[in-house]
Amino acid sequence: MAATRLIALHQHKGRTVAQSLGERTDYAKNPEKTEKGETVTSFGCDPYTVDEEFMLQKRQYYQTTGKKQHSDVIAYQIRQSFKPGEITAEEANRVGYELALRFTKGKYSFIVATHTDRAHIHNHIVFNSTSMDGTKKFKDFWRSGLALQKLSDLICLEHGLSVIEQKPYDEREKRTAFPKKTSARDAICQQIDEILARKPKDFPAFLDEMKKAGYEIKTGANVAVKSSGQKRFIRLSSLPDGYKEADIMAVLSGKVKLQSRTATRTDNQYRSRAGSWLIDVEKKLTEKGPGYAKWAKRHNLKQVSKSFLFLRDQKIRGLSHLSSLVEEKTKARDDLLDSIKASESRLAEIATLKKHIINYSKTRSTYEEYRKAGYSKKFLEAHREEITLHKAAKQAFDELGVKRLPKVKDLNAEYAELFSGKKAAYAEYRRLRDEAQELAIAESNLSSLFESEKEEQSRQKEKEH
């Protein structure tokens, strides 16, 4: 599920167009928000020189058409926010890249910066208001935001993601109760639960684990901790009962049994058509008592029944046949994933090559004049952007091992073919992934059932003897 918004970016008051573009793109590429730049991709430009390339396209537009910019819209931004826990940062970046490419029809340079600093992963897509060939400008048409949302929903469905169900205003539920925010104390309690579950040998070892988790420790009359997002230290003595310093020491010494109050149960985490994984009843009996163990036995019976029905529907003859199918589906899934990764690598290479070919051709005459001027420093200062782009293009050709420049038309055809093939491969990959998981669950459940039957038979024989 993704919520989208199209925003026109204006020139800041007291700033030049170049400065305004730099500020906007720098915010999108913020290393603290984009996993140190790992989740930043681009089309028709380089993420490092995106603002300079946007400006070069604007100057080319003026030289080609003779028109000056009448409005202060210098670029456009698409914000695309996803449902928490539904998508990874890498897939969100791919979805955002596809959305930008299809919305701009491949005529405008853009960057896609996926931010992971919030509970919800979201994309900041910035595309130039001037086309790459410098012949026209993007027109923010009537109801463009609605068209963008519909295109985003379509791409989300193609990637197996949920979409927002549109309802008339009168039918929408009015929220009166708001979810409680997780406080810093709650986060500390949760971290304490996780560390105590690993059973550190003593209190100093416990404090070392807290440091590894990113907490700053202050010792003294009262031990206090502080995470990177906190303004002040929080004393352990001010935490709820069960999390104070004395309570932690009692758990470490074995006097008190650990009772986590912050962990939440996720029974549906591995739900699928073939059921879910079986629960270790003996372990649950020691952890939560006979009531929960009774429920777990009923749960296991239901899941085994679902597994048998699934095997019957799939016409699977036995456990050995099932194991071979699991191996076959898993191998097919992994091979297809490798193929998709290879296609993505080639797509990225084509996009980079196209960008540098265009930059090379645009700046070739300037670089030749620079060479004729004897590499004059004065000429360099006057045409630094064009010369920098030309050198970057030549360096990229050397790194890619390109001796003869291919035609952009041929690269576009190869890109379109690879892109459509990748989309079809993604759909097939999701199908194989789900089938492999269903088969693996059924195999695990039946293996557990057969093992428990063998143990029961051996116990009966021992009683008879």
39 and 127 fall within a common domain? yes
Domain holding 58, by residue range, is: 2-168
User: For each of the chain's 465 residues, which pLDDT tens digit applies?
Assistant: 578 999 999 988 888 889 999 999 999 999 999 988 899 999 999 998 999 999 999 888 888 888 776 677 899 999 999 988 889 999 999 999 999 999 999 999 999 999 998 888 999 999 999 999 888 999 888 889 989 998 998 888 888 888 877 676 667 677 666 666 778 888 888 888 888 888 888 888 888 888 888 899 988 888 999 987 788 899 998 888 888 888 888 888 887 776 655 544 333 333 344 555 454 544 544 455 555 556 556 666 666 666 666 666 667 766 677 788 888 888 888 888 888 888 888 888 888 888 889 888 989 899 999 889 898 988 988 888 889 888 888 888 888 888 888 888 888 888 888 888 888 888 888 888 888 887 777 777 667 666 665 666 666 767 665
pLDDT value for 302: 66
The set of residues, in sequence order, having a beta carbon less than 8 Å from that of 419 and lying 6+ positions away, is 347
Tell me how far CA of residue 20 lies from CA of 17, 73, 123, 434, in angstroms.
5, 11, 20, 46
189 and 148 belong to one structural domain: no
CB 237 within 8 A of CB 220: no
- Domain membership flag for residue 176: no
Which of 113, 107, 141 shows the shortest CA–CA distance to 125? Answer: 113
The answer to the question of residue 262 being in a domain is: no
In the prediction, which pLDDT does 271 show?
38
Whether 312 is covered by a domain: the verdict is: yes
Task: Look at residue 94 in the predicted model and tell me its pLDDT.
Answer: 93
* Same domain assignment for residues 196 and 316: no
Identify the residue whose tokens are 């309570």: 247
Q: Determine, yes or no, domain membership for 174.
A: no
8 and 95 inside one domain: yes
Distance between CA atoms of residues 364 and 389, nearest Å: 10
Q: SS in 3 state form for 231-283?
A: CCCEEHHHCCCCCCHHHHHHHHHCCCCCCCCCCCCCCCCCCCCCCCCCCCHHH
The predicted-structure confidence for 251-310, as pLDDT tens digits, reads as follows: 888 877 766 555 443 333 333 445 554 545 445 444 555 555 565 566 666 666 666 666
| Domain co-membership, 382 together with 443 | yes
Q: Are residues 6 and 149 in the same domain?
A: yes
- pLDDT on residue 296: 59
Domains contained in the chain, number = 3
Same domain, 106 and 144: yes
Q: Assess if residue 423 is contained within a domain.
A: yes
Asked if residues 366 and 386 have their Cβ atoms less than 8 Å apart, the reply is: yes
Residues 367 and 397 in one domain: yes
333 and 393 in a common domain: yes
- My answer on whether 188 and 160 are in the same domain is no
- The answer on 232 and 85 residing in a single domain is no
Helix 290-313 and helix 281-288, axial crossing angle in degrees, nearest 10: 150
pTM of the model: 0.41
Look at residue 285 in the predicted model and tell me its pLDDT: 44
CATH number for the domain that contains residue 153: 3.30.930.30
Looking at the domain assignment, is residue 261 inside a domain? no
Assigned domain for 131 exists: yes
Same domain, yes or no, for 86 and 120?
yes
